[in-house]
Amino acid sequence: EPEVTQTPSHQVTQMGQEVILRCVPISNHLYFYWYRQILGQKVEFLVSFYNNEISEKSEIFDDQFSVERPDGSNFTLKIRSTKLEDSAMYFCASSLTGKEKLFFGSGTQLSVL
Amino acid sequence: GNSVTQMEGPVTLSEEAFLTINCTYTATGYPSLFWYVQYPGEGLQLLLKATKADDKGSNKGFEATYRKETTSFHLEKGSVQVSDSAVYFCALSTFGNEKLTFGTGTRLTIIP
């Protein structure tokens, strides 16, 4: 079965640094998402992306966050100036139509020191 | 707003035991309900879903029934296997929107 690929699996960074989390969605999918899970808490929606623009975002997704589909295969999440509270597991997901099920990647564990 | 409350874990059972993981929800409108599973080192995978009241989702021996009157979607399996060890997430979405609201997840460990 096709799968969503996320890299790296673990990322450690210093507070204030920029990080880019990378995702390769399933090739014919059109809808893309980022979720995150802070340790011990719920998986939270961050943003959805369709047709090269953000279709919805949560309150968490402030000006420090941005998403981009720089080419036909990658979907990235950038955090401009990381904070300690950004430490979490970040999941990328994609969907063919936005009405069908989501396919998730295995996540990137981000640790901000 | 929408929210999902899920049974606290971790849960440890012996092989062939009966499993129930409780899930209740609060939502505006009529949500679709899901169970996702995350096996070690893998992404979240859709296990089953139900889109309207009294629907039963089922897959791999797991079942969950959409109970509107109790706003619940409890996950059950009659006889668990070691390979069922994973983290299970209850989730909902509303108005056909694929933005999911998740519970905290329940870690299940099955002992041979």
Mean pLDDT of chain A: 93
DSSP B42-106: S-EEEEEEE-STT-EEEETTEEEE-BTTTTB--EEESS--GGG-EEEEEEEE-TT----EE---E
* Reported confidence tier of residue A34, pLDDT bands at 50, 70, 90: very high
* pLDDT score recorded for residue A72: 80
Considering chain B, what percentage of its residues have pLDDT values greater than 90? 77
Do the Cβ atoms of B99 and B3 come closer than 8 Å? no
For the segment B58-112, what is each residue's pLDDT rounded down to a tens digit? 999 999 999 999 999 999 999 999 999 999 999 998 865 668 899 989 999 999 9
Instruction: Report residue A46 as tokens.
Output: 């961050």
Inter-chain residue contact A106 with B42, CB threshold 8 Å: yes
Q: What is the mean pLDDT of residues A59-85?
A: 94
- Placement of tokens 């981000």 in the chain: A110
| A44 contact residues in B (CB cutoff 8 A) | 102
- Placement of tokens 């694929």 in the chain: B98
Q: What is the CA radius of gyration of chain A?
A: 13
- Placement of tokens 């879903």 in the chain: B49
Residues 6 or more apart whose Cβ sits within 8 Å of residue A60: A36, A44, A46
* pLDDT score recorded for residue B96: 59
* Reported confidence tier of residue A70, pLDDT bands at 50, 70, 90: confident
Say if residue B40's pLDDT is above 90: no
Say if residue A99's pLDDT is above 80: no
* Reported confidence tier of residue B29, pLDDT bands at 50, 70, 90: confident
* Reported confidence tier of residue B43, pLDDT bands at 50, 70, 90: confident
Q: How far apart (Å, rounded) are the C-alpha atoms in residues A99 and B93?
A: 11
Q: How many CB atoms sit inside 10 A of residue A16's CB?
A: 10
Cβ–Cβ contact A34 with B under 8 A? no
Q: How many CB atoms sit inside 10 A of residue A3's CB?
A: 16
DSSP, res A84 = G
Q: How many CB atoms sit inside 10 A of residue B1's CB?
A: 7
Residues 6 or more apart whose Cβ sits within 8 Å of residue A72: none
Q: How far apart (Å, rounded) are the C-alpha atoms in residues A9 and A101?
A: 23
Distance from CA of A80 to the nearest CA of B (A): 24
Q: How far apart (Å, rounded) are the C-alpha atoms in residues A5 and A52?
A: 20
Closest by Cβ to B43, choosing from A41, A99, A104: A104
